[in-house]
Amino acid sequence: MTDPTPASSALPPITAILVVRNDRATLQPAIDSLLAQNYASDLDIVIALAPNTDGTTELVAGITAANPRIAVIEIASSSLVVGLNEAIAAARTSLIVRVDPRSVLPHDFALKAVRAMARTDAGAIVGQTTPVGVTPFERAVARGIQHPFGLARDPLTQHSGEAQIQSATAHVIRRRTFIEVGLYDEEIRHGQGWQLNERLREAGHTVWFTPELQYDYRPASRPVVLTRTLFAEALWRGEFGRAFPQEKVLRFLLPSIIVVATIVGFIIGAIGFFGVIAGALGAAAVVSLVLFALLVIPVVYVLGTIVLAIETMVRADARTGLWFAVALPLIHFSWGFGFIAGFVNLEGAADTVIVDFD
């Protein structure tokens, strides 16, 4: 049985939760968007503050000093999952909005979230997110993530309206329902939201996608962060794809196909090249030429990346286009290697438990 959600004429109090670590550069706009919500009832904010090295602690102290309705709980772990569970436990309202510290919410997000909960009686609501960069590198990453030859569009965009879905990260949750099913599994570092949604459905609750719940977020701001983040996410998505073959999505497979084709084409093509310059004769010469021809795969990849980078220069600006030539291969190879590692069950690749679907 779910918590009752009053109609919009009697809006219930809600809590927005954020787990922050090294988020000094993006946290203030996220908080400002929460404080600017057009919501005619109480909206509490709970920040779970993890250990950090970029001055996030000092920023949070300044924010809370100016806004007494913002509560802060300090956590000893850097785990997102631990922070989420602590923040949910600290919330005092039945409805909770999970907010990414890199996001900026539209002013009516909270109101639409509550109305969606009342309309669907869901255990959790999933919205739609869009990467929007500020720096040239971030803009290049955002373009690469959404590009058809990058990670393509989010499959949730296939839904023309509200619909029940199998798996996705929840943005609006019912506190009591989450507590009843055991909160997020702290043994899972990645994909914990999908696993929790599975437990919600097993307990008789539903998870709904609501396209009107949309917000922008800033993607990774540095190459090393982009590489680490995409590899980690692709790792558990590969594990998910292996455990549930029916849930495979082309956007998750495409980078892996590109990585394998490019590497195999380069290695085999190089073997053929050396065979040609070594003067192979007869059948060996034919084989060498055939193998050499496979070099066209990595060549096409490089040329295609250059063409797309030039297109980005024209559509955006020169710096974004130059960074796009770096970001697109980073997206392909970070995600591709991560997905392959997860799919073949190399759990140690990310030094973490991936997802326990048993």
DSSP for 8-74, written as a single string = GGGPPPEEEEEEESS-HHHHHHHHHHHHT---SS-EEEEEEE---SSSHHHHHHHHHHH-TTEEEEE
On whether the pTM is more than 0.95, the answer is: no
Percentage above 90 pLDDT, the chain: 50
- Which pLDDT score, from 0 to 100, does residue 346 have? 62
Domains along the chain with CATH numbers: 8-220 (3.90.550.10), 250-350 (no CATH)
Token pair, residue 333, equals 């190879």
Residue 210 is given by DSSP the state E
DSSP 151: T
The pLDDT value recorded for residue 149 is: 87
Contact criterion met (CB below 8 Å) for 220 and 229: yes
Rounded to the nearest angstrom, the gap between the alpha carbon of residue 295 and the centroid of all alpha carbons in its chain is 33
The confidence score (pLDDT) of residue 352 equals 42
pLDDT in tens, 74-114: 999 888 889 999 999 999 999 999 999 999 999 999 999 99
The H-or-E segment that residue 164 falls in is strand 163-164
Length of the chain: 358
pLDDT recorded at residue 357: 32
Torsion of CA 352, 239, 205, 87, to 10 degrees: 20
Tens digits of per-residue pLDDT, 52-67? 999 999 999 999 998 8
d(CA 153, CA 121) in angstroms, rounded, equals 28
Euclidean distance between CA atoms 75 and 61, whole angstroms: 15
Residue 190's pLDDT is 66
221 within 8 A of 142, measured Cβ to Cβ: no
Conformation bin of residue 121: beta by default, left when phi > 0, alpha when psi is -120 to 50: left
The 10 Å CB-count burial string (b at 16+, else e) for 37-63 is bebeeebbbbbbbbebeeebbebbeeb
DSSP 100-137: -TTEE--TTHHHHHHHHHHHH--SEEEEEEEE--SSHH
The alpha carbon of residue 258 and the mean position of all alpha carbons in its chain are separated, in whole angstroms, by 21
Neighbours of 88 (CB within 10 A): 20
Would you call 261 exposed, middle or buried from its count of C-beta atoms within 10 A (0-12, 13-18, 19+)?
middle
Report pLDDT for 62: 93
Q: Please, are residues 268 and 294 in contact by the beta-carbon 8 Å criterion?
A: yes
Give the residues of the chain that fall short of pLDDT 70.
1-9, 153-160, 166-168, 188-191, 243-251, 346-358
The SS3 call for residue 173 is strand
